[in-house]
Structure 1
Amino acid sequence: MVIESLTDLFQTRELRFSKRYISITSETRFKKQPVIFIMGATGTGKSRLAVDIATKYSGEIINSDKMQVFKGLDIVTNKITEHEKKGVPHHMLGHIDPDYEYTAQDFCYDALAFIRRVGRSGKLPVIAGGSNSFIEKLVEDPLFGFLSKYECCFIWLDVSVPVLYSYVQRRVDQMVIEGLVDEVGGIFKPNADYTKGIRKSIGVPELENYLQAETEVNNKTAENLLQVAISDIKSNTCKLTDSQISKICRLKDELMWPINRVDATKVFKKRGKEAAAAWEEQINSPFS
């Protein structure tokens, strides 16, 4: 049972996981179901860390990204692949109709159902995603009484802003190579409502001008429109990271959440095998 193994973990003071990232008193030790939250801006490796922790501590992952809950646009929303899941069960990922207006309230009811289900099976619920408004609603809304029922560990995977900007811009280029434009083209509707459902995703509204004009203009004009769209996607993704970081800081500084920051900047400065080795040493190992 994961509860028993985590109890042993918390009681072993020399382990860095218990010392650095989880705070729990003897009076409350496992009288409440433990839940791990992996937070951070887009592109910081939340899904990867969630899988690492779930693998080590017999966990299952509950998605808290408000765009990844929708079916479709797997490239645009950067959904974790089957290979990256490493066999760890994932919930609330691609299960909502793309035109549905999915609210924070909807998320809370769905997340609570899966947290109970995962906990009853003896597994550790690991909630991961960048939608901090969803997480705040779940934890703070008195309707749910979350903190009275669950022992929370909040882990903030952080990367310095300049390094993160560079990374997410490269990631957009890679998403384009993987088929982002064709994927958006598959759901394109002229003058669509970009305030609802999956069309709110960064990468969809930015491509509207290009997709409307690509068959009516010459190749050079179409290419220019495409490059403007890609530039806008990069810019809006960077703005999103700023917003996400600001929300986490507010939860930490104003609402006094006991958020444990893990700095992954050194990892993101490296590439290839060096980056993989740095991740294992600096991010994954402390949770062993």
Structure 2
Amino acid sequence: MGFRDRGIEIKTSQQIDGMRRAGLVVGRTLELLRSSVRVGITTGELDAIAEDAIRSAGATPSFLGYHGFSGSICASVNDEVVHGIPGGRALSEGDVISLDCGAIVDGWHGDAAITLAVGEVPADVTELMRVTEESMWRGIAAARLGGHVTDISHAIEQYVRGAGRFGILEDYVGHGIGSQMHQPPNVPNYGRAGRGPRLVEGLALAVEPMITLGTHDTEVLEDDWTVVTTDGSWAAHFENTFTLTPRGAWVLTALDGGEEKLAELGVPFGGR
């Protein structure tokens, strides 16, 4: 069975360039949001900032209207892991917020997320955010042409498990991305290496570990979107969209293509 038979979309070099343009819109929007997060700002105000930035760049928000979602970003606070709906909630000192952003340029999608502290947070929350972000990069760094999707999954889990007692969400995973925001294959954040579809040139994946200070069990609130931990433990979520070229990994939603972090991890940079 070939990749196309599985519904996996393989892009041309020119199409990947289109995804890079979308990825840059996402990356720049997230940096704007990073500088905008402060005590007292509402998640709805952050959403308005993001929508304006995306549209001003000539792009379209991926999330707005997606299966009825009402925001241009997902804004998830504290024990809200993912898919939080922006609205009137004002951020307080000591909160953490996950901001997930998607944009479409000429039909191609970019998707990324960051988690930010609002002022000072406890040391264990700071460590949670560090471990989650680092695990994302370790997953990307494990990807090689000819390898398998779960090489990424295994690297994420191995790093998180080695860093302490954290919960790794199992019901929510990374995904393929391209002409649609969510495509095959799924990219779990745990599992044995060497399984799943092969990693080939032209495949683009969104890698997004979702890690908690407690349980990996979650539930969805009555809004039918917001995912929270069942034990109330706080969570972090980081995401980047990347691809592989013959030269190495290229992180399409990182402003520098991931070059600095990949070099730190000893991984060749494949961008152009």
Place the TM-score, normalised by the shorter chain, in its bin.
under 0.3
Q: Whose relative contact order is higher, 1 or 2, with alpha carbons under 8 Å and at least 6 apart?
A: 1
Q: Which has the higher strand share?
A: 2
Scaled by the length of structure 2, the TM-score of the pair is: 0.24
Scaled by the length of structure 1, the TM-score of the pair is: 0.23
Is the radius of gyration larger for structure 1 or structure 2? 1
Q: Which has the higher helix share?
A: 1
